Structure 1
């Protein structure tokens, strides 16, 4: 087995580390100051420092790295994993590189399934970073962990579709620059269970489409990346050409979207863990309690050692998953995608918890990034499918494989 990075990946990592050290980390304080001066706090990507970071990222070739093929940078999942991990160390880096969710998933959907008109009208400005987008699937009235429960109706009426329904936890929707929404709903409730759903594109200012409120995550409104909103659709009329692919393709499109999305979250989360461990170690060296630095306390050393071991385990599992996605496809890597989705948020949450403990009360405050990171990582145990669903499916696969082996 070969564990070294290939030459291109090694070069990109060095470029990325330099970009983070020279530009992204110093920009975090500037970003907070500029955002505080905005009249509309949700328009976070209009602050000057974001534009400067994007220009710098494009100049360095760190743009649309998530997307394979000619429209993106042409990287494999394995190559992108190493760079995405580093980007996860700061909440500014993915946006600066045009590699932030939910835009990444929406661009992948339009690239794979969009019509020529849809790609020209929406994909091209998304790839250029001119607009943002949102993905509207989760609903308040059903258990959205089962996507077949989705109740929003998308009904054909001549040369239009009429949409009625409610959505919530729609990430990025509060940002006024989120000009297009990928909406999942049911076109035929009488069809086979996984053929009832479709996806359609809805422009932000369409009559009948209303954004009601921002949702908070453990008290954070996440306005620094567009928030999460509750939406409603009341007799929203959309041209038929806004349907993505064909009626009944929505569930399959969602699954195609979620595979890369899940591993991208895991890649970036390892970066969160690395930064948390770095902060933990620095704080432990600085603080003295009971006559010696915290870094000499046995329990703290245990946390540091455990954190390093868990990060290395996660990284290997994520890299293996990325390699499988490249070699046997997303379907062939399904078990590993589920495994990393189960392991990563819980493990990173544990590391963040220990970092917060070392920081004491400061770790709970807005003065350090740990509390906000904890809230974000905790939400990943729901996003793209809750732990319990992934564990149930993974266990079913394992039981089937073990029975076959017997």
Structure 2
């Protein structure tokens, strides 16, 4: 049954409705259902970028490195940890791409396992893990002579505790999991799956790309070892904005990261003949940080802190639940390919029909922008601070029309 409240009533009662005005283009007629791939720009980011170019870059020039830029990967990482990740200071750094962070932390984890427990020769990963994660794991397994142990999962769900318990054992070096599945939006039970991996003596790496900024994360409380995420989805950093990596403080001195760049050196400007890693999270930084790419991300973090990640999650649940209700009422030929229980669902909804690829193309022509994922999946990504219930209602109506 569709919610008895209309979209207008839901918007009027939404405590976060005013945040929508702070995003470029949010007031237009375009329906944006792809906030889980690329978030709308924060309006304040334009002025912030201009100010940066004119004052910091243009005014301070090379002095900017000494004054702020050199420390920005870790100071911004601390803000991200505090506001979004449930991580104490000194464990998160911003920079590089998601793929590079995945390589560095996966490789560091398996090298540590091989060094301390030579019998641990397996990486456990599921068949519906995000492609980059799977590709990186395949490459590292080939480099290090390791084996991939695959968990076969339902593409409308994700890895369960029972599945992981069956897959891990005395040969497991590392478990790689998505917190929110990119296809189905399955929200993994992170604390329980982390516990299972640890009981087997393995490290675990969480991919937070589809959860950071939309779903509550508590890395320290969950005793997570390693985590990686991007900043251009729910953190609205813009196309190509830098990723982030989290390394639990208890592991920082034990792991050796494989891409030894000058920014991770204990004294970058010593320019010495050998590599001495910096203390703490800084040793996991490699090359020159993408400072420009961090500016827009700062603007979004301020909005997330103002709204509160708990309230953002509540709005996300309300938006996706409304989309599911509308699909049930108006799209009888469509199958829900996401968990129906909102407690098991992240920030997007996937609807399945064999002609969804054509539907997506037609919707784009009409300024209704979802995305498509095989097999036959129309993904509706609803960024909580920039999406209204009216937008959901108009978009779902357009989906029904396009499918007809």
- The normalised TM-score by structure 2 is 0.25
Indicate the structure with greater helix content.
1
Q: Larger relative CO (CA 8 A, sep 6+): 1 or 2?
A: 2
Q: State the TM-score, normalized to the length of structure 1.
A: 0.25
